[in-house]
Amino acid sequence: MAERAAARGAGPEAAAPEGPQATELSREEKLQLRKEKKQQKKKKRSEKGPAAETPELGPPSEAGQPQVAAHPTSPPALADGPNDGEKPAGGKSKAELRAERRAKQEAERAQKQAKKAELSQAATAAKPRLTPTEPQSVVKRLPEHVQMDDPAAQRKLAKKLERQQVPLRQDYGTKVNLFSHLHQYSRKKPLTQQMSIPSTVIHPAVVRLGLQYSQGIINGSNARCIALLEVFKQLIRDYSTPPNEELSRDLVAKLKPHISFLNQCRPLSASMGNAIKFLKKEISCLPDTLREEEAKEKLQDTIDKYLREKILLAAEAISRSAFEKINDNDVILVYGCSSLVNRTLCDAHVKKGRAFRVIVVDSRPRLEGRETLRRLVRKGIHCTYVMINAISYVLPEVSKVLLGAHALLANGSVMSRVGTSQIALVSKAYNVPVLVCCETYKFCERVQTDSFVSNELDDPDDLILLRKGQAQLGGWAENKSLRLLNLVYDVTPPDLVDLVITDLGMIPCTSVPVVLRVKNVDQ
Partner 1 sequence: MEFQAVVMAAGGGSRMTDLTSSIPKPLLPVGNRPLLWYPLNLLERAGFEEVIVITRKEIQKMLNLDTKMKLDFVCISDNMDMGTADSLRHIHQKIKTDVLVLSCDLITDVDLYKVVDLFRTHDATLSMLMKKTHEPTEVVPGQKGKKKPVEQRDFIGVDDTGKRLLFMANEADLDEELVIKRSILQKHPRMHIRTGLMDAHLYCLKKYVVDFLVENRSITSLRSELIPHLVRKQFSSPTSLQQGLDNREEDQKKKEQASLDIYSFIKEDNSLLKPAADNSCWNDHRGDMNETLHEGKVRCYVHIMKEGLCYRVNTLGLYIEANRQVPKLLLNLGLEEPLVHGSAQITDRGMVGSDSIIGSSTQVGEKTSIKHSIIGSMCTIKDKVKITNCIIMNSVTIEEGCCLQGSVICHNAVIEKGADIKDCLVGSDQRLETKAKHVNEVIVGTEQLMEI
Task: Tell me which of 124, 136, 196, 523 binds partner 1, using CB under 8 A.
Answer: 196
Phi, psi values for residue 334, rounded to 5° = -125, 155
Task: Tell me which of 26, 74, 222, 271 binds partner 1, using CB under 8 A.
Answer: 222
Exposure class string for 330-348: b at 16+ Cβ within 10 A, else e: bbbbbbbbbbbbbbbbbbb
Nearer to partner 1, 4 or 375 (CB): 375
Nearer to partner 1, 90 or 190 (CB): 190
User: Smallest distance from the beta carbon of 503 to partner 1, in angstroms?
Assistant: 16
Task: Tell me which of 7, 22, 148, 207 binds partner 1, using CB under 8 A.
Answer: 207
Residue 368 engages partner 1 in binding (rule: CB under 8 A): yes
User: For residue 151, how many C-alpha atoms fall within 13 Å in the half-sphere facing its CB?
Assistant: 0
* C-alpha–C-alpha distance, residues 294 and 289, integer Å: 10
At position 174, the amino acid (one-letter code) is: T
CA dihedral over 115, 118, 119, 125, signed as positive or negative: negative
Residue 230 engages partner 1 in binding (rule: CB under 8 A): yes
Task: Tell me which of 116, 156, 291, 370 binds partner 1, using CB under 8 A.
Answer: 370
Nearer to partner 1, 286 or 314 (CB): 314
Query: DSSP secondary structure string, 142-169?
Result: PPGGG-TT-HHHHHHHHHHHHHHT-PPP
Residue 372 engages partner 1 in binding (rule: CB under 8 A): yes
Nearer to partner 1, 53 or 309 (CB): 309
Neighbouring CB atoms inside 10 A of 89's CB total: 11
Secondary structure of 429-446 in HEC code, one letter for each residue: HCCCCEEEECCHHHECCC
Residue 467 engages partner 1 in binding (rule: CB under 8 A): no
Number of H helices, E strands in the chain: 17, 10
Task: Tell me which of 220, 412, 419, 460 binds partner 1, using CB under 8 A.
Answer: 220
Residue 290 engages partner 1 in binding (rule: CB under 8 A): no
User: Smallest distance from the beta carbon of 377 to partner 1, in angstroms?
Assistant: 7
Residue 371 engages partner 1 in binding (rule: CB under 8 A): yes
Return all residues near 371 (Cβ < 8 A) that are at least 6 apart. 337
Residue 115 engages partner 1 in binding (rule: CB under 8 A): no
Return all residues near 233 (Cβ < 8 A) that are at least 6 apart. 300, 303, 304
Exposure class string for 477-496: b at 16+ Cβ within 10 A, else e: eeeeeebbebbbbbbbbbeb
Nearer to partner 1, 300 or 511 (CB): 300
User: 501 - beta bridge partners?
Assistant: 437, 506
User: Smallest distance from the beta carbon of 231 to partner 1, in angstroms?
Assistant: 9
Nearer to partner 1, 56 or 459 (CB): 459
User: Smallest distance from the beta carbon of 219 to partner 1, in angstroms?
Assistant: 6
Q: What is the CA radius of gyration of the chain?
A: 30
Candidates 66-74, 127-135, 150-158, 208-216; binding stretch for partner 1 (CB under 8 A):
208-216
Residue 168 engages partner 1 in binding (rule: CB under 8 A): no
- Crossing angle of helices 221-237 and 270-284, in 10° steps, is 30
Return all residues near 370 (Cβ < 8 A) that are at least 6 apart. 362, 385
> By the 8 A CB rule, do 266 and 273 touch?
no
User: Smallest distance from the beta carbon of 198 to partner 1, in angstroms?
Assistant: 4
Task: Tell me which of 140, 141, 378, 480 binds partner 1, using CB under 8 A.
Answer: 378
Task: Tell me which of 1, 117, 138, 197 binds partner 1, using CB under 8 A.
Answer: 197
Residue 300 engages partner 1 in binding (rule: CB under 8 A): no
Fill in the per-residue mask, 328 to 367: x = in contact with partner 1 (CB under 8 A), - = not in contact: ---------x-x----------------------------
**Nearest by Cα to 391 from 453, 350, 336, 464:** 336
User: Smallest distance from the beta carbon of 164 to partner 1, in angstroms?
Assistant: 17
Nearer to partner 1, 233 or 258 (CB): 233
* C-alpha–C-alpha distance, residues 149 and 183, integer Å: 9
Candidates 7-15, 227-235, 277-285, 462-470; binding stretch for partner 1 (CB under 8 A):
227-235
Task: Tell me which of 219, 300, 302, 511 binds partner 1, using CB under 8 A.
Answer: 219
Task: Tell me which of 157, 227, 262, 359 binds partner 1, using CB under 8 A.
Answer: 227
Return all residues near 78 (Cβ < 8 A) that are at least 6 apart. 33, 36, 37, 40
> By the 8 A CB rule, do 472 and 292 touch?
no
User: Smallest distance from the beta carbon of 4 to partner 1, in angstroms?
Assistant: 50
Residue 195 engages partner 1 in binding (rule: CB under 8 A): yes
* C-alpha–C-alpha distance, residues 126 and 101, integer Å: 32
* C-alpha–C-alpha distance, residues 284 and 286, integer Å: 6
User: Smallest distance from the beta carbon of 186 to partner 1, in angstroms?
Assistant: 14
User: Smallest distance from the beta carbon of 166 to partner 1, in angstroms?
Assistant: 15
Nearer to partner 1, 371 or 462 (CB): 371
Interacting residue ranges for partner 1, rule: CB under 8 A: 190, 192-193, 195-200, 204, 207-208, 211-212, 215-220, 222-224, 226-227, 230, 233, 312, 337, 339, 368, 370-372, 374, 377-378
